[in-house]
Amino acid sequence: MRSDAIKKGVERVPHRALLHATGVSRRDMSKPFIAVATSFNDIIPGHIGMRDLERFIERGIAAGGGVPFFFGIPGICDGVAMGHPGMRYPLALRELIADSVESFVNAHSLDGLVCLTNCDKITPGMLMAAARLDIPTIVVTAGPMLSGRYKGKRLSLVGDAFEVVGKFKRGEIGEADLACFEMESCPGAGACQGLYTANTMACITEAMGMSLPGCATALAVSAKKRRIAEESGEAIVRLVKKNVTSRSIMTRKAFENGIRIDLALGGSTNTVLHLLAIAREANVSLGLKDFDRLSKQTPHITDLLPGGKHFMEDLDYAGGIPAVMKRLKSKIAVCPTASGLSTHQIADRAVVSDENVIRSIDEAYHEEGGIAILHGNLAPRGAVVKQSAVSEAMSVFTGKARVFEREEDAQKAILSGDIKSGMVVVIRYEGPKGGPGMREMLAPTAAIVGMGLADSVALITDGRFSGGTQGCCIGHVSPEAVERGPIAAIKNGDEILIDLPRRKLELKISAKELKSRLKKVKIPAPNVTGGYLLRYSRMVSSADEGAILKPF
């Protein structure tokens, strides 16, 4: 075992003495040592229930014959960080998480790893570490939140907290209703109720085989989630004894399975960034072209929030990810999983309990998957859109640019009524380097919806979007403005063409004019002058590469 490096031989007497000081017995020294990375904290709703799940993981590891060692990993709530400078940190945190897990596990020569995680950047950071370490690993995502309730209507964070701000501004609801939406939209523990980034990443993790069947959709407050946590603790010990490492599960075919499930569900655009980064750590070749190729082959078979009407609880009751895999069995590859079953064995055992929540391929909501990759003179290296959340009226759209140099200015203009039908809101200098940290734009996109402009206004940015975004919102525009990408050359009033069927994003000016404008661009001063974000901005790559940190 790897842990023999800290517990075998006479020269390891001092190491064993320190381990004995923690309560480890002599008998424990012959057992696998299992690291449990937990991102518990008191400020993220998706994480506040982890103390309970830690107990069940610990029980499972002990029952399986292992010794658990818990350690903490930082987390950020994207919703709380949204719409202000704090949103520069979550994507950058992904790298710190990967480095922290690597450091703890390798420094202590531990044999296996359980990642207890949830929410937007924490799960990808854990998976990056798992791929980098290439030791036996299993992931326990802490589960979705129950829907809220108000006046007989089910509520979600995005639709009934973010988007109601715009509705209040235009007088559609009053202060009493606004206060009730604030109190009732998030009733307790769990990741936000729709297919936003947290739950999308949980679904992809399960589809790739890194979580046990049912884990992604099992509600945070359920006994089912507790049982999965305990079973995961037992499973990691089996994986260690059989030496089933993370890279033996996270293969090229597994990544494609994960992408297909994402596309079939209509998941978050952030998954593009994360899967590119995780694949790099796993030494798997993956690029934007793979997402678009698979999207054209994979139908969109669910209608989940934010673009649809169903909640994560509906997906769980309908059979969860195993049931989605059953629908897509002809399209997904046979791959091993942490459960010991193959992907096809999981699909064969699954039951689709609600034909409307998880439709057949023949009755898909859309022929193509949820994500599309656009190119053109505005995005030579690509841009990303959640096409499943775009109305048919906006799938081909030409509008006049209204340019903003930061998110806050765009948000103010939208809520004040300055943005009119037929405009394309452009928010730039918000990319990985320019932000830095590639802020999510949920506040302005939700404001556009709340102001009733979702079918007449588009938004493009070199930043990114929350998984809760809906409407014609195009992000990850590469190269970004701070690298003199074409988005830096847009002027107010320029015509911009968005054509999703043809995968086009075009600024309607000549190549000569575009080149001339880019030469004259004045890059603004950095938004940060010190600390981690300054280091991050100097090392981070473009969005089309996954916004990874490049080696020196």
> Could you give the residue numbers annotated as active site?
466
Phi, psi of 148 (to 5 degrees): -80, 175
Buried b (16+ CB within 10 A) or exposed e, 442-464: bbbbbbbbbbebbbbbbbbbbbb
529: number of CA atoms within 13 Å, CB side? 2
> Can you read off the two tokens belonging to residue 299?
């139908």
306: cis peptide before it, omega within 30°?
A: yes
> Can you read off the two tokens belonging to residue 112?
């296996």
Helix (H) or strand (E) holding 38: strand 33-38
Nearest by Cα to 218 from 246, 237, 191, 188: 191
Nearest by Cα to 411 from 463, 370, 478: 463
- 4 a known binding residue? no
Q: Give the span between the Cα atoms of 107 and 483, in whole angstroms.
A: 38
**Integer angstrom CA distances of residue 442 from 83, 194, 269, 351:** 8, 14, 12, 35
- 78 a known binding residue? yes
Q: Give the span between the Cα atoms of 256 and 298, in whole angstroms.
A: 11
Distance of CA 541 to the CA centre of its chain: 18
Tokens 């901005």 correspond to 537
Nearest by Cα to 213 from 344, 395, 306, 408: 344
- 121 a known binding residue? yes
Tokens 């990850």 correspond to 476
Tokens 């409407």 correspond to 471
List residues bridging with 191 in a β-sheet: 144
- 99 a known binding residue? no
Q: Taken in order 202, 203, 205, 206, is the CA torsion positive or negative?
A: positive
**Integer angstrom CA distances of residue 28 from 5, 64, 173, 258, 534:** 15, 13, 61, 37, 44
For every residue of 311-373, DSSP letters joined together read: -HHHHHHTTHHHHHHHHTTTTS---B-TTSSBHHHHHHH-----TTTS--GGG-SBSS-SEEE
147: number of CA atoms within 13 Å, CB side? 21
Instruction: Find out whether 140 and 57 touch, Cβ atoms under 8 Å.
Output: yes
Instruction: Find out whether 467 and 195 touch, Cβ atoms under 8 Å.
Output: yes
Tokens 């999983």 correspond to 337
Q: Taken in order 242, 245, 246, 248, is the CA torsion positive or negative?
A: negative
**Binding residue ranges for Mg(2+):** 78, 120-121, 440
**Binding residue ranges:** 78, 120-121, 440
